Structure 1
Amino acid sequence: MIYKNFVKRVIDFLLSLSAIIILSPIWIILIVLGSIAMKGNPFFLQQRPGYKEKTFNLIKFRTMSNAKDSNGNLLSNEVRLNKYGRILRSTSLDELPELFNILLGNMSIVGPRPLLPEYIPYYTEEEHHRHDVRPGLTGLAQVNGRNAISSWEERFAYDLEYVNNCSFLLDIQIIIKTALKVVKRSDILVGSTVVVGRLDDIRNNNNK
């Protein structure tokens, strides 16, 4: 409990601050390239539920442009996801700004990935416990299939397993496995390919 409630946060703060400083040259390059590729703001902000389901602004590098049709409507995701965005996603570089979320205490290095706020009403009573810890940059589900996991139930099972077994050793194991997956670019789906689908759509259909 000491690690989960105190030590983990100290480690998150120190490691995220160090990473932000060390990676500052990459930050500058990606901000410039992103501004050009996206023709404007290179950052993407979106509300996500965090610890105890309190929402925060998740920050990432944008991977889709704001290209619109003649009527002013956004084009499809496949069209707006340009080559630059695909590279960011395949290398996980789009996730780098989340280091600031970790520094501020909205997130942790390891924990259940933050999902959309509109999914919360569709959780089971047990699934709400995935928010008993801060959401993570990576997590147990990500090193056991990442985006290729075929069901929400499987993802949530990994999230709850992490919440119930959170420890320094487990975090180290997840970080090492994540680094290997990023280097190998394994279990990463880029573009409009969706294996699981939206949680609200799936559970609404199941209740019909």
Structure 2
Amino acid sequence: MKSLKRLFDITVATTALVVLSPVYAITAYKVKKNLGSPVLFKQTRPGLHGEPFEMIKFRTMLDAYDKDGNPLPNEQRHTRFGNLLRSTSLDELPELWNVIKGGMSLVGPRPLLMDYLPLYNEEQACRHNVRPGVTGWAQVNGRNAISWEEKFELDTWYVDNQSLLLDLKIIFMTLKKVVVKEGVNANDNVTMTRFTGSTE
């Protein structure tokens, strides 16, 4: 299963990079024009078994700081263009390179923050038994519109039930949800609130 999944990931990600290269070029140009440089956002995230890797995305926020040099809250740094990138998931396209390099899979639990690693309970930590994904079971079943507890339950369900057929189902469900822009925001918030630990 693991070798077949890896072959599938490399084949699809490489093909998508070639086919979508015009979209990459246009998006990169628009990001630089609307948000400035750098075009890519890079951040260390936990991968397989919690090992860190550098995830790349198109940036969606402005570099804006208060008088003391601290970044302004996310809500104040977002723009209409950045929200468009997020709602269409175009900001996620560079992650295909992470898939090719092996840090990510096409399908798996989304890579969250390194800060969250010590906050997981034993069951939640099982989400790191597989490579993180560009999309996942939680993303097609609520994304940011569900609670952290529900998200982690969906993640661990995927880990226990993963198969190539399930991956294909999730990919097709993802494409459908991107088109209708479903589950992008949690209520009126721009992004999901921070995870502060399990309540159980």
TM-score of the alignment, normalized to the shorter chain, above 0.5: yes
Counterparts in 2 of 1:89 and 1:194: CA distance versus 1, 3 Å: closer
Counterparts in 2 of 1:196 and 1:74: CA distance versus 1, 3 Å: closer
Equivalent residue for 2:172? Answer: 176
Counterparts in 2 of 1:89 and 1:195: CA distance versus 1, 3 Å: closer
Runs of 4+ in 1 over 4 A off after TM superposition: none
Q: How far apart, in 1, do the equivalents of 2:75 and 2:195 lie?
A: 21
Q: How far apart, in 2, do the equivalents of 1:63 and 1:192 lie?
A: 18
User: How much identity, in percent, do the aligned residues show?
Assistant: 47
Equivalent residue for 1:138? Answer: 135
How far 1:187 sits from its partner (Å)?
Answer: 1.1
Q: How far apart, in 1, do the equivalents of 2:133 and 2:152 lie?
A: 14
| Aligned amino acid, residue 174 of structure 2 | T
Equivalent residue for 2:15? Answer: 18
Counterparts in 2 of 1:192 and 1:58: CA distance versus 1, 3 Å: farther
What TM-score, normalized by structure 2, do the two folds share? Answer: 0.93
Aligned counterpart for 2:90 among listed residues 93, 98, 101? 93
Counterparts in 2 of 1:148 and 1:190: CA distance versus 1, 3 Å: closer
Counterparts in 2 of 1:195 and 1:31: CA distance versus 1, 3 Å: closer
SS at structure 1 position matched to 2:182: coil
Q: How far apart, in 2, do the equivalents of 1:30 and 1:146 lie?
A: 23
| Aligned amino acid, residue 54 of structure 1 | E
Q: How far apart, in 1, do the equivalents of 2:186 and 2:123 lie?
A: 30
SS at structure 2 position matched to 1:59: strand
What TM-score, normalized by structure 1, do the two folds share? Answer: 0.90
Structure 1 contact 107–134 (Cα < 8 Å) conserved: yes
RMSD of equivalent CA atoms: 1.9
Unaligned runs of 5+ in 1: none
Q: How far apart, in 2, do the equivalents of 1:145 and 1:197 lie?
A: 15
Structure 1 contact 64–80 (Cα < 8 Å) conserved: yes
Structure 1 contact 50–56 (Cα < 8 Å) conserved: yes
Is 1:48 paired with 2:60?
no
How far 1:32 sits from its partner (Å)?
Answer: 1.2
Equivalent residue for 2:154? Answer: 158
Equivalent residue for 2:77? Answer: 80
Aligned residues: 200
SS at structure 1 position matched to 2:160: helix
Is 1:118 paired with 2:115?
yes
Q: How far apart, in 1, do the equivalents of 2:161 and 2:131 lie?
A: 14
Q: How far apart, in 2, do the equivalents of 1:75 and 1:187 lie?
A: 25
| Higher-Rg member (1/2) | 1
